[in-house]
């Protein structure tokens, strides 16, 4: 095995269920309580490095787990959620009311229809893939934890499983859900999803 990657979506944050994107929102009280359970679920893994998105909700999830493992968190901009532009911070209901044509086109043509003022999906995907390749290459024969966002996790899982981008939303990602991917020289094997 080249590298074992444990991907975790951050804990429950303020405004959960909205298109948070680059909004820097904190965890809720319930989200902070979820971290003890996450640390227990991670305890069997020999984690040697911890990476996190630089956004607050990911860092507030990663930092307490890092303390349990006696490690420092390496924050990476490349692990941020997609920038949703004018949709950022809005619920789907608000989006369909304010941007009915764009919402309809986006839902029908995802990932090809761009959100107004947002990061283009292909740019987001390439950013995430570049960052993950760097992390995997830097951690040969090690187990590493990456705390990030649902969109990032979905892209990585879809890549490992050969799932087309248009089907990303078929991959559920709960707050603090654990995903395990073993990277070998020529393939990736998913051992756990949303655990």
Residue 135 lies in a domain: yes
Residue of 81, 119, 131, 149 with catalytic role = 81
Q: Is the dihedral of CA 112, 116, 120, 121 positive or negative?
A: negative
Residue 168 lies in a domain: yes
Residue 97 lies in a domain: no
Tell me the C-alpha distance between 60 and 40, whole Å.
17
CB neighbour list of residue 187: distance below 8 Å, 6 or more residues apart: none
More confident: 185 or 56: 56
- The CATH number given to whatever domain includes residue 181 is 3.40.50.1240
Residue of 10, 22, 119, 149 with catalytic role = 10
Tell whether the model's pLDDT for residue 186 goes beyond 90.
no
Q: Domain count of the chain?
A: 1
32 token code pair: 């902070």
What integer is the mean pLDDT of 157-173?
A: 96
Map the chain to HEC letters.
CCEEEEEEECCCECCCCCCCCCCCCCECHHHHHHHHHHHHHHCCCCEEEEEEECCHHHHHHHHHHHHHHCCCEEEEHHHCCCCCHHHCCCCHHHHHHHCHHHHHHHHHHCCCCCCCCCCCHHHHHHHHHHHHHHHHHHCCCEEEEEEECHHHHHHHHHHHHCCCHHHHHHCCCCCCCEEEEEECCCCEEEEECCC
Which range of residues forms the domain containing residue 16?
A: 3-84+119-192
Residue 59 lies in a domain: yes
Residue 98 lies in a domain: no
pLDDT digit string (tens) for 21-78?
A: 999 999 999 999 999 999 999 999 999 999 999 999 999 999 999 999 999 999 999 9
* 14 has catalytic annotation: no
Supply the pTM of this predicted model: 0.96
Residue 154 lies in a domain: yes
Cβ distance 175 to 15 under 8 Å? no
Residue 107 lies in a domain: no
* 113 has catalytic annotation: no
Residue 103 lies in a domain: no
pLDDT digit string (tens) for 115-140?
A: 999 999 999 999 999 999 999 999 99
């Amino acid at each position: 095995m080249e590298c074992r990657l444990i991907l975790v979506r951050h804990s429950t944050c303020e405004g959960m269920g909205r298109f948070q994107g680059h909004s820097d929102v904190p965890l809720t009280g319930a989200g902070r309580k979820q971290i003890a359970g996450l640390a227990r679920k991670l305890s069997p893994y020999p984690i040697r490095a911890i990476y996190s998105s630089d956004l607050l909700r990911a860092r507030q999830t990663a930092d307490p787990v890092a303390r349990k493992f006696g490690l420092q968190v390496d924050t990476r901009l490349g692990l941020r959620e997609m920038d949703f532009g004018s949709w950022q911070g809005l619920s789907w209901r608000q989006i369909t009311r304010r941007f009915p044509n764009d919402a309809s086109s986006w839902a029908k043509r995802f990932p090809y229809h761009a959100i107004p003022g947002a990061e283009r999906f292909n740019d987001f995907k390439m950013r995430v893939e570049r960052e993950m390749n760097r992390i995997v290459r830097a951690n040969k024969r090690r187990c590493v934890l990456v705390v990030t966002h649902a969109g990032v996790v979905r892209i990585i899982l879809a890549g490992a499983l050969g799932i087309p981008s248009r089907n990303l939303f078929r991959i559920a990602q709960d707050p603090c859900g654990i995903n395990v991917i073993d990277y070998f020289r020529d393939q990736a094997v998913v051992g756990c999803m949303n655990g």
